[in-house]
């Protein structure tokens, strides 16, 4: 019974860590890309006007 609870807890921790590692880096590159693209967008606006 203890090993079943332990394996369930281990699977729960592993699933939580997997979701955090998958979900956490996704917003970071989006914000970095937005910050890097901002001067390019400003240059495009300056070129248009």
pLDDT value at residue 16: 81
pTM exceeds cut of 0.75:
no
pLDDT value at residue 2: 76
pLDDT value at residue 43: 66
pLDDT value at residue 23: 57
The model's pLDDT over 3-37, given as tens digits with 9 standing for 90+, comes to 988 899 999 888 887 776 665 555 555 555 555 55
pLDDT value at residue 15: 82
How many structural domains is the chain composed of? 1
Residue indicated by tokens 């979900």: 23
Task: Determine the structural domain holding residue 31 and report its residue range.
Answer: 2-48
Burial of 43 (0-12, 13-18, 19+ CB in 10 A): exposed
pLDDT value at residue 13: 87
């Amino acid at each position: 019974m203890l090993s079943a609870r332990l394996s369930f807890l281990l699977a729960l921790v592993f699933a939580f860590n997997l979701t955090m590692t998958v979900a956490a880096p996704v917003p970071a590159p989006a914000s970095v890309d937005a910050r890097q693209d901002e001067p390019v967008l400003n240059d495009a606006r300056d070129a248009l006007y």
